[in-house]
Amino acid sequence: MLTTNPTSHLTLRSSHSSLPSQSTTLHCHPIHGKPMIQKPQISTQKTKIRTIRAVISQDKPSEPVTSLPNQATGIDVKAVITIRKKIKEKLTEKIEDQFESFLNGIGRGIVLQLVSNEIDPTTKSGKRSRESAARGWLPRPLDHPYIVEYAADFTVESDFGMPGAVLVKNLHNKEFFLMEIVIQGFNEGPIVCPVNSWIASKEDSSEKRIFFSNQAYLPSQTPSGLKDLRQNELNSLQGNGKGERKGYDRIYDYTTYNDLGNPDKDLDLSRPVLGNEQRPYPRRCRTGRPPSKSDPLTERRIEKPHPVYVPRDETFEEIKKATFSAGALKALMHNLIPSLIATLSSTDNPFQCFTDIDKLYNDGVILKTEEGKGVFSSLVLPKILKDVISTGKRLLRYEIPTIISRDRFAWLRDNEFARQTLAGVNPVNIERLKEFPILSKLDPAVYGPPESAITAEHLEKELNGMSVEEAIKEEKLYLLDYHDIFMPFVKKINSLKGRKIYASRTVFFLTPAGTLKPIAIELSLPPTPSQPVNKHVYTHGHDATTHWIWKFAKAHVCCNDAGCHQLVNHWLRTHASMEPYIIATHRQLSSMHPIYKLLHPYMRYTLEINALARQSLINGGGIIESCFSPGKYSMEMSSAAYKSMWRFDMEGLPADLIRRGMAVKDPSKPGGVRLVIEDYPYAADGLLIWCAIEDMVEECVSFLYSEPNSITRDSELQAWWNEIKNKGHADKRNEPWWPKLQSKEDLCGILTTLIWIASGQHAAINFGQYPYGGYVPNRPTLTRKLIPQEDHPEYQILLTHPEDFFLSSLPTQLQATKIMAVKDTLSTHSPDEEYLGQLHQTHANWINDQRVLSTYEKFSARLEEIDIIINKRNADKSLKNRNGAGIPPYELLLPSSEPGVTGRGIPNSISI
């Protein structure tokens, strides 16, 4: 049973029938703490008589209620339910709350029914107790003011058996949040049903909700009395694929990305559907909204501030909203961004000098708003300072990003430009150069000769006397290749106002110090009749002109890197790809399935944050389109990347490193790979996290599936994996590379990949966005000018005012300020973050299996050790990519963090 005491400890009690009574203590803040599992103290005796905390009025507050067998009429048992009330209530809500308490007190609010594991010979389903109302007049609150308990009394027959489920019916006119049910009175000990779910009002849903105990069962192990309930609950979550979803629904279903455009508002905001043969994409959660009036293929938009449907239990909890994630993101999109536009759009000029950029951190931006209201009323941005200037104005002042807080000129240096490919916010595109010349895979009839314009002569003057062939053989050459992904879109993007890009390739040389040095950049445009080969190669130079042009070339590479990072590596490979896994898990794995229980912490809030992104970030005219180079073609480019390069079997860290040539197979090394560049911070630290996850998963799977062929006989598991492939990633369903699911090894690989994507991979490419991208020149998200050739009129401007030309090529002040605000928000940890290896209090009684709990405890302890190892690496002076003058330590894969923009910390799930 979950209780709280004055010292704010949470106690978990397990009721595994084959184990002694046991308890595990979590130390945490009573509501939004970050609890860590403490080693359980296991009792040596079974307790025949269980005591529970009394909450009903007839019990004396200081005396516990005791449940005893009644030989004449059966067994007297009690079910205690824990309810979380709303934290912030309006006056009308407080009155309603009192009325609800009154109804509960007289037994007219919540009705419960116990269901046995045993079959009733008459009904051929689980034995059921009589219905009993939860009572409490008035409920005595626990130590936290927002949590209350009620109790329902039952008398069951002596041969009733152990309850395996509880049916709950809400008689109120509004929903309530049920945290947990604990059944007391059976000799085997208390039975815990973890709930953490919204129970819809009687007006919205008349069905009884089903909640199982925390005893995990594979489908074949399901007690006879629970088999029909197990399937019924899955059926209710799957729905029938029809109708528009309501806010109280709990339906998980698939549909395409057909809600990004808004042609009813403006035909220029029309966007193609993603999720078909032409434009493949992962599926999203279906909302069932009607089509738009202007385009029958496009779903009608739900614009801010109205919410987009996600299943009720996927929405942010009030605690989350009250702290950061929902409130800040919504306020950012609904209030701050419009205010920035109103303030700066009339004078949306480029930065005139670097001092203008510095003013964003020193002086801030004065925002003009109506009577000073609306912008910051609900906005919580820990790293953005807000001050009242005068009536009708607010000051937005940014925190100095990490990249310039230690060395404001670091971004100018080639070694920092190269270092960030290994230890920056996007360290997943660098690859080893294996063949020369570099070749494109695009159709030469459309895009010209496949050979890169980078020649051996370009490279060899920087190879310390080596030939290109020797450098490739000795693993000294590396490539950042954004040619094929951008080239099909270059012409369309360059036709947009204020957008000019190239397809780019950058070659690096590995120095004896273990650092990379950029030695050649190729910038390409599509061929034209007059210029069938439109490729330019830039290298280092020692004169002023070449020096500045090299800076421009690097800026274009950074722009492509920022676009690929956001649209492919961040959104597509973590957020979008994770959504089908979550939908399939709820549709095909029962909540009593051990794999569902194992995956549950890694799915929290992802559907909600993705829905918010579709509404305000990746939609037509949204932040990504307005602030990144691909503009209105952003999501089409993301779809093209999904089509050409996304493979599930390559999404695990070791496989991805091998694919990019950054590692080779070596069974003696962590993760079974040896890094080609030893000082590769993302990979080195990531492998520590990967191996910890892998070992935890392997240990759990080993005893959950101990019988031969138990994987192939698990009907739910097989349906889950088939649905991920055939529905969740339907456009890729026929690919031969999908892993089989026939053995424990197969299952371990799949689960480790899923958990890694949700936790370590997302953290590594998300929480460094503001530390590295908060200073626009370091990572410009768009470029507005091409590099002029000598015969171009702008070439003279470049020669006479190179700094002005450089700044005029970067995002405007409005674009830069908007993207800085978004990156600050997306890089911020909320105060109630749930980090890897930590167990949230609402997930405390997740499973009744001491073997799994012990494994998770070891996992938690191992992550604490990893924290120490990474800190030692960051202090190692021989590791030049994470230590040195002005170089920030690589902390993105440190498991835990404080709130705010910290550049560290691995949350369990993709929640921002």
562-590 pLDDT per residue, tens: 999 999 999 999 999 999 999 999 999 99
The domain total for the chain is 2
E strand residue ranges, 21-89: 22-27, 36-37, 41-42, 51-52, 65-66, 69-70, 74-84
Q: Using omega within 30 degrees of 0 as the cis cutoff, is the peptide bond preceding 305 cis? A: yes
Residues in the chain: 912
Starting at the edge strand that comes first in sequence, how are the strands of the sheet with 393-398 ordered?
365-368, 393-398, 384-388
681 occurs within a structural domain = no
**pLDDT more than 90, % of the chain:** 72
Total Cβ atoms within 10 A of residue 668? 6
Q: Find the range with the poorest average confidence among 123-132, 293-302, 354-363.
A: 354-363
180 three-state secondary structure:
strand
CA distances from 169 to 119, 174, 202, 558 (A): 22, 12, 8, 56
Confidence band (pLDDT; 50, 70, 90) for 30? very low
Q: Convert the pLDDT of each residue in 593-602 to its tens digit.
A: 999 999 999 9
pLDDT over 70 at 373, yes or no: no
- CB distance 731 to 558 below 8 Å: no
pLDDT over 70 at 872, yes or no: yes
143 occurs within a structural domain = yes
**pLDDT reported for residue 14:** 33
- CB distance 158 to 23 below 8 Å: no
pLDDT over 80 at 411, yes or no: yes
Question: Residue 334 carries which DSSP code?
Answer: I
Backbone angles phi, psi at 2, to 5 degrees: -90, 120
The CATH number of whichever domain residue 96 belongs to comes to 2.60.60.20
> Residue 114 is inside which H or E element, if any?
strand 110-119
Task: Determine whether 551 is exposed, middle or buried from the number of CB atoms within 10 Å of its CB (0-12, 13-18, 19+).
Answer: middle
Task: Determine whether 62 is exposed, middle or buried from the number of CB atoms within 10 Å of its CB (0-12, 13-18, 19+).
Answer: exposed
- The closest alpha carbon to 303, from 628, 635, 622, belongs to 622
- Output the CA angle 84-87-90, nearest 5 degrees: 120
152 occurs within a structural domain = yes
E strand residue ranges, 410-555: 431-432, 477-482, 503-510, 516-524, 535-538
State how far the Cα of 273 lies from the Cα of 275, in Å rounded to an integer. Answer: 6
What residue type is 735 in one-letter code? E
Q: Convert the pLDDT of each residue in 327-356 to its tens digit.
A: 455 556 555 666 777 667 666 789 999 999
- CB distance 66 to 74 below 8 Å: no
pLDDT over 70 at 418, yes or no: yes
Instruction: Using the structure block, give the residue that is written with the tokens 């919205």.
Output: 204
| Residue 85 tokens, joined | 């009330």
- CB distance 380 to 323 below 8 Å: yes
Total Cβ atoms within 10 A of residue 234? 19
- Output the CA angle 594-747-212, nearest 5 degrees: 15
- CB distance 81 to 112 below 8 Å: yes
Q: Which of 514, 534, 561 is the C-terminal boundary of a domain?
A: 561
The pLDDT of 640-669, averaged and rounded, is: 97
* Ramachandran region, residue 464 (left: φ > 0; alpha: ψ -120 to 50; beta: rest): left
| Residue 361 tokens, joined | 């951190």
489 occurs within a structural domain = yes
Q: Give the residue numbers annotated as catalytic, written as ranges.
A: 570, 575, 762, 766, 912
CA distances from 141 to 349, 392, 691, 910 (A): 58, 43, 43, 33
7 occurs within a structural domain = no
Q: Convert the pLDDT of each residue in 816-848 to its tens digit.
A: 988 898 898 889 888 778 999 988 776 778 899
pLDDT over 90 at 385, yes or no: no
Confidence band (pLDDT; 50, 70, 90) for 38? very low
Q: 3-state SS of 359-425? A: HHHHCCEEEECHHHCCCCCCCCCCCEEEEECCCCEEEEEECCCHHHHCCCCHHHCHHHHHHHHHHCC
**pLDDT reported for residue 136:** 77
CA distances from 852 to 309, 698, 702, 849 (A): 34, 11, 11, 6
Backbone angles phi, psi at 835, to 5 degrees: -90, 155
669 occurs within a structural domain = no
Confidence band (pLDDT; 50, 70, 90) for 224? very high
E strand residue ranges, 491-630: 503-510, 516-524, 535-538
472 occurs within a structural domain = yes
What residue type is 900 in one-letter code? G
Question: Cα 818 to chain center, whole Å?
Answer: 22
Of residues 903 and 101, more confidently modeled: 903
**pLDDT reported for residue 766:** 97
Strand partners of residue 80: 151, 182
836 occurs within a structural domain = no
**pLDDT reported for residue 825:** 85
Question: Residue 541 carries which DSSP code?
Answer: -
176 three-state secondary structure:
strand
* Ramachandran region, residue 884 (left: φ > 0; alpha: ψ -120 to 50; beta: rest): left
The pLDDT of 404-429, averaged and rounded, is: 96
State how far the Cα of 419 lies from the Cα of 882, in Å rounded to an integer. Answer: 9
Angle formed by the axes of helices 544-564 and 414-423, nearest 10°: 10
Question: Cα 373 to chain center, whole Å?
Answer: 32
Gyration radius from the chain CA atoms? 29
CA distances from 91 to 97, 98, 303, 307 (A): 10, 11, 29, 24
> Residue 255 is inside which H or E element, if any?
strand 254-255
- Please give the full DSSP string across 121-154, using - where no structure is assigned: TTTSSEEEPPPEE-B-SSPPB-SSTTEEEEEEEE
**pLDDT reported for residue 589:** 98
Task: Determine whether 450 is exposed, middle or buried from the number of CB atoms within 10 Å of its CB (0-12, 13-18, 19+).
Answer: middle
**pLDDT reported for residue 541:** 83
Q: Which of 561, 578, 613 is the C-terminal boundary of a domain?
A: 561
Confidence band (pLDDT; 50, 70, 90) for 44? very low
- Output the CA angle 198-138-312, nearest 5 degrees: 5
pLDDT over 50 at 889, yes or no: yes
Q: Convert the pLDDT of each residue in 268-281 to its tens digit.
A: 999 999 999 999 99
Q: Convert the pLDDT of each residue in 52-95 to its tens digit.
A: 333 322 333 333 334 444 545 689 999 999 998 876 656 566 66
Q: Convert the pLDDT of each residue in 530-542 to its tens digit.
A: 899 999 999 988 8
The two counts, helices (H) then strands (E), for the chain are 28, 28
Total Cβ atoms within 10 A of residue 325? 26
Task: Determine whether 664 is exposed, middle or buried from the number of CB atoms within 10 Å of its CB (0-12, 13-18, 19+).
Answer: middle
Confidence band (pLDDT; 50, 70, 90) for 306? confident
Of residues 261 and 382, more confidently modeled: 261
Q: Convert the pLDDT of each residue in 243-272 to its tens digit.
A: 999 999 999 999 999 999 999 999 999 999
Q: Using omega within 30 degrees of 0 as the cis cutoff, is the peptide bond preceding 139 cis? A: no
Residue span of the structural domain in which 137 resides: 74-218
| Close Cβ partners of 708 (under 8 Å, ≥ 6 residues apart) | none
| Close Cβ partners of 104 (under 8 Å, ≥ 6 residues apart) | 110, 134, 135, 136, 139, 150
**pLDDT reported for residue 773:** 95
Of residues 98 and 569, more confidently modeled: 569
pLDDT over 80 at 229, yes or no: yes
State how far the Cα of 563 lies from the Cα of 543, in Å rounded to an integer. Answer: 31
Total Cβ atoms within 10 A of residue 74? 16
The CATH number of whichever domain residue 495 belongs to comes to 3.10.450.60
CA distances from 404 to 322, 518, 773, 804, 889 (A): 32, 21, 10, 21, 13
What residue type is 386 in one-letter code? K
- CB distance 866 to 692 below 8 Å: yes
- The closest alpha carbon to 724, from 566, 565, 599, 568, belongs to 599
Angle formed by the axes of helices 681-704 and 414-423, nearest 10°: 0
Of residues 447 and 148, more confidently modeled: 447
Question: Residue 117 carries which DSSP code?
Answer: E
Q: Which of 168, 194, 218 is the C-terminal boundary of a domain?
A: 218
State how far the Cα of 287 lies from the Cα of 436, in Å rounded to an integer. Answer: 49
**pLDDT reported for residue 309:** 96
Q: Convert the pLDDT of each residue in 438-488 to its tens digit.
A: 999 999 999 999 999 999 999 999 999 999 999 999 999 999 999 999 999
State how far the Cα of 847 lies from the Cα of 671, in Å rounded to an integer. Answer: 28
The pLDDT of 375-404, averaged and rounded, is: 58
pLDDT over 50 at 1, yes or no: no
Q: Convert the pLDDT of each residue in 100-117 to its tens digit.
A: 776 676 667 899 999 999
